[in-house]
Amino acid sequence: MTSKSSFWKISRLNSKKRFPFFIICFLVCFFIMPVITYVDVMNAKAILERYGPIALNETFYNMRLISLPPFSGFHGILTAALALLLAITGWSWNNQIKKVDFYKALPVKESVRWWYINLNNLFIFMICYGINLILSNIVLACGGFYSPTALKVSLVGFLVHTLLFIAVYMIICIAQLLTGNFILAALGGCYLVVLEPLIRFMIYALSDSFFKTYSHLAYLHDGIYILEKGILTPIAPYINAVGYRFNTNKVYFADNAGLVKGIVILCIQIAVYGFIAYKLYRARASYAGNNNIAFGFAKPIIKCIIMIPAIVFAALGFHTINGDGDGFMIFGFISGVIISQILLQYLIEGDFKCVVKGIRSAVVSTVIAAVIVIIFTADVFGYDRYIPEADEVESFAVIYDSDIYSDYLEDDGEYVPYGQYLMNHMKLTDKQLLSKLTGYISESLSEDKYNENNYDGRSYGVGVTVKYETTSGKTITRSYVMANGRGKELYRDLYNNREYVDVHNPLKNESIAEKLSDKNAYISAFYDSFVDFDYNSVHFEEGDILPLFDAIQKDMDARKADDVTDGNMIGEVCVYIEPRVERYDYYGGSYSTNLSFAVYDCDAYMLKLLEKYEYDITEPNWDEVERFEVTRYDYDSGQSYSGNIEKDDPMFETLKGMVIISGNYGTSSVPNFDVYNNDLNVSAVSNNRYLHFYLREGEYPEGLDDKLKPDQNGLYY
């Protein structure tokens, strides 16, 4: 029997042996927490002297007390690292037979030994982390930057990180008790912690490689999505508990539901993994330290868990080298089987002579890996063929590739890519429009139909992402490449739908409307012309800002689909909004908002407003153009050809009738349906000033090659 006094006596003895690790943990926490907090307080004081009063919001305290910029989430990584260190060192004696015999000989119950070792490690973490958290708060208070928010963040942060420590610690203990040396225990523990995100990443990589309609827009932050979803390992519940927003570098406890859910999942994990670890501890034989794997039954399980992803990733890796055929992928698959069999058998048995053993588990792993690869390569479940029935869809969204990263808008306190904003807010319900959309999608999945509508079979297409909200509550996202002709027809249909046009209008974004209505905000706007040789910009006066937005709104409401798809974009209005604040907001995010609006030659209200500034240039002044400078690239030979087309040359008028304003490409979120000829660059020259133009694909003036000569420099690359 072990009395309470002997328990605490043994605990104190164990604590003395663990004292060096306590010092290491304390120093690491000290330099990462209060020291860096002190540096940040000094920076805040410098800002105070320069800008005046500082607004220290919740983000500031979270970044100081829970995380660290620029590597947000660092306290979580620190906690996991300490759990790894203390679990491995705390149970290292279990891999040394002499020490095992010594510990087993002590008159201490196995359950008591289990508790005092684990509790000692937990106390080491709690003392090190807790004291340094208190010191961080003292640093903030002494610097004059303290509030009740800091106390809230500290208490909740201490709870969440303690739970994270215990959960990771128990997983490492499982790895420690399954293996026979600390190196395998450390590697195995890390692998178990990241196993669920690793499987998610494998599915993502397979989908991205083999599904033609897999949508990146659904997961613009794929790596983050992989980490923040799941319940089997502590990573996802921890991220959700602290409310970490990856795309804004903020950590805060804003989502109370996420906090409670994360804490509950972590507690369940602690109970489950703690129970498993305890059972392994009681079942582990004293001689297990002689073996790399302590339990014979665990060998094939461990091998399969590692070998299956290894084979799949090997096949994927070689597939990326040459994605056109299956030869490299098959070679990678076979290589993965052979290499993982050799390495894993050596790690499991500790002897290269045993690499030919474990054939049964190798065969099982190979078969499972092959099935996984075949499911994705052969699209067994019809992922790429999915087209919903109209009555299955409650609402849908259509986002062109040109929308995805054209700008960033504020959405629920975060700045998200424009495409993601559209994805979140576009809710189209027109069944007739949906019917046309699914018909175009069906054609895009048929190669013959695709070529028939793709401007005489050219290989170019228009990227479109579609999100379906089904009546059953599911969200399904697919990406397609539509023929240029169909992409243009679809855009016209969409543009005639008021819901689609309104969600595309930044002026109807609530956060932007609020900023525009702020009388204290600083707003500047200017117009950039794409057709002016002098590249003049019109800076709007403060009194014209509201009329400017009124003109933009009226022009957007008046435009027809053909005005956008077939009209000329002649310029762009750029708007800068920054609220005037009395205090500098430290780590509060960027207040400024930048917007851009395309201006077409049909925009009557905008052109009328520009007349006030005596600016009426809606097309290039061809009278002052001296010549065209033309360069053609021959991609087969690598040779470039160039020449000048003077104004008195008949070819000048021919080119003039063909060229497209270069502003129509890449400056607007409007898709480019008229594919330009990337073999040809055309520039109009006036008094050493240039305007750049494109020609549509397939349009090439007859006789132009006769006026071009090979460049003297030879190859252009």
Greater pLDDT, 55 or 717: 55
Between the ranges 19-23, 44-48, 388-392, where is the mean pLDDT highest? Answer: 388-392
How far is it, in rounded angstroms, from Cα 213 to Cα 209?
10
257 token code pair? 């539901």
| pLDDT (mean) for 308-313 | 94
The answer to whether the beta carbons of residues 675 and 455 sit under 8 Å apart is yes
Q: Is the pLDDT of residue 11 over 70?
A: no
- DSSP for 650-673 reads HHHHHHHHH-EEGGGTTSSSS---
Residue 170 and residue 60 share a domain: yes
The residue type at 195: L
- Sign of the torsion formed by the C-alpha atoms of 532, 406, 587 and 579: positive
Write out pLDDT tens, residues 419-445. Answer: 778 888 899 999 999 999 998 888 878
In a 13 Å sphere around the CA of 611, the CA atoms on its Cβ side amount to 7
Write out pLDDT tens, residues 359-398. Answer: 999 999 999 999 999 999 999 998 888 888 888 999 999 9
Q: How many domains does the chain have?
A: 4
Residue 424 and residue 480 share a domain: yes
Give residue 450's pLDDT band: very low, low, confident or very high (50, 70, 90).
low
Domain with 701, as residue range(s), is 622-710
| pLDDT (mean) for 74-94 | 85
Residue 68 and residue 14 share a domain: yes
Give residue 581's pLDDT band: very low, low, confident or very high (50, 70, 90).
low
How far is it, in rounded angstroms, from Cα 571 to Cα 668?
10
Domain-ending residue, one of 480, 504, 528: 504
| Cis before 70 (ω within 30) | yes
Greater pLDDT, 461 or 259: 259
Q: Is the pLDDT of residue 106 over 90?
A: no
Q: Is the pLDDT of residue 14 over 90?
A: no
Residue 499 and residue 519 share a domain: no
Residue 453 and residue 411 share a domain: yes
Report the mean per-residue pLDDT for the chain. 79
- Sign of the torsion formed by the C-alpha atoms of 11, 12, 16 and 19: positive
Domain-ending residue, one of 574, 590, 611: 611
Residue 137 and residue 75 share a domain: yes
Q: Over 3-19, what HEC string results?
A: CHHHHHHHHHHHHHHCH
148 by Cβ neighbours in 10 Å (0-12 / 13-18 / 19+) ranks as exposed
Host H or E run for residue 400: strand 393-400
Domain assignment present for 385? no
Domain-ending residue, one of 236, 266, 286: 286
| pLDDT (mean) for 658-685 | 66
| pLDDT (mean) for 622-643 | 84
Domain assignment present for 640? yes
Strand ranges, E, within 499-638: 521-529, 537-539, 569-579, 584-586, 593-600, 627-634
Residue 177 and residue 120 share a domain: yes
pLDDT on residue 126: 93
Estimate to the nearest angstrom the gap between the alpha carbon of 620 and the chain centroid. Answer: 42
Residue whose entry in the numeric block shows the structure tokens 């090997």? 314
Residue 175 and residue 120 share a domain: yes
The CA-based angle 4-8-11, given to 5 degrees, is: 140
Contacts for 502-508: CB closer than 8 Å, 24+ residues apart? 503/422, 503/425, 503/426, 504/422, 504/669, 505/553, 505/556, 506/407, 506/409, 506/595, 506/597, 507/549, 507/552, 507/553, 507/556
Closest of 679, 677, 675 to residue 632, by C-alpha? 679
Domain assignment present for 14? yes
Domain assignment present for 475? yes
The answer to whether the beta carbons of residues 370 and 314 sit under 8 Å apart is no
pLDDT on residue 365: 94
Query: Which residues, at least 6 apart from 148, have a Cβ–Cβ distance to it below 8 Å?
Result: none
Residue whose entry in the numeric block shows the structure tokens 């926490």? 29
The answer to whether the beta carbons of residues 425 and 503 sit under 8 Å apart is yes
Asked which of 64-78, 170-184, 588-602, 610-624 is least confident by mean pLDDT, the reply is 64-78
Rama region for 668: left / alpha / beta (φ>0; ψ in -120 to 50; rest): beta
| pTM confidence score | 0.76
326 token code pair? 């299956």
Q: Is the pLDDT of residue 195 over 70?
A: yes
Write out pLDDT tens, residues 197-218. Answer: 899 889 888 988 888 888 766 5
Q: Is the pLDDT of residue 570 over 60?
A: yes
Q: Is the pLDDT of residue 667 over 60?
A: no
Q: Is the pLDDT of residue 583 over 60?
A: no
How far is it, in rounded angstroms, from Cα 599 to Cα 674?
18
Asked which of 200-209, 251-260, 546-555 is least confident by mean pLDDT, the reply is 251-260
Domain assignment present for 310? no
The answer to whether the beta carbons of residues 471 and 393 sit under 8 Å apart is yes
Residue 144 and residue 83 share a domain: yes
502 by Cβ neighbours in 10 Å (0-12 / 13-18 / 19+) ranks as middle
- Sheet containing 393-400: order of strands: 393-400, 461-470, 475-483
pLDDT on residue 456: 41
676 token code pair? 């330009």
| pLDDT (mean) for 122-132 | 91
pLDDT on residue 62: 52
Asked which of 45-49, 274-278, 448-452, 647-651 is least confident by mean pLDDT, the reply is 448-452
The answer to whether the beta carbons of residues 236 and 266 sit under 8 Å apart is no
pLDDT on residue 693: 82
Domain assignment present for 309? no
Closest of 542, 297, 568, 247 to residue 414, by C-alpha? 247
pLDDT on residue 305: 92
The answer to whether the beta carbons of residues 157 and 78 sit under 8 Å apart is no
Residue whose entry in the numeric block shows the structure tokens 């006026």? 707
Domain assignment present for 73? yes
Residue 670, φ and ψ in degrees, nearest 5: -75, 130
Asked which of 71-80, 367-376, 415-424, 661-670 is least confident by mean pLDDT, the reply is 661-670
The answer to whether the beta carbons of residues 600 and 610 sit under 8 Å apart is no
Q: Is the pLDDT of residue 320 over 60?
A: yes
The answer to whether the beta carbons of residues 329 and 313 sit under 8 Å apart is no
Residue 76 and residue 125 share a domain: yes
| pLDDT (mean) for 680-695 | 84
Task: Point out which residues pair with 585 in neighbouring strands.
Answer: 55
Greater pLDDT, 450 or 700: 700
pLDDT on residue 323: 62
Write out pLDDT tens, residues 136-187. Answer: 888 888 877 777 777 777 888 889 899 999 999 999 999 888 887 778 888 8
pLDDT on residue 324: 64
How far is it between the farthest Cα atoms of the chain?
110
Domain assignment present for 82? yes
| pLDDT (mean) for 265-276 | 94
| pLDDT (mean) for 317-344 | 86
How far is it, in rounded angstroms, from Cα 148 to Cα 146?
7
Helix (H, G, I), strand (E, B) or coil at 575: strand
Greater pLDDT, 686 or 166: 166
Q: Is the pLDDT of residue 280 over 70?
A: yes
Q: For residue 443, how many other CB atoms are within 10 A of its CB? A: 20
| pLDDT (mean) for 537-566 | 86
Helix (H, G, I), strand (E, B) or coil at 253: coil
Percent of the chain with pLDDT over 70: 77
Number of H helices, E strands in the chain: 26, 17
Residue 265 and residue 121 share a domain: yes
pLDDT on residue 412: 64
Asked which of 518-522, 578-582, 662-666, 695-699 is least confident by mean pLDDT, the reply is 662-666
Residue 706 and residue 607 share a domain: no
Closest of 211, 631, 115 to residue 445, by C-alpha? 211
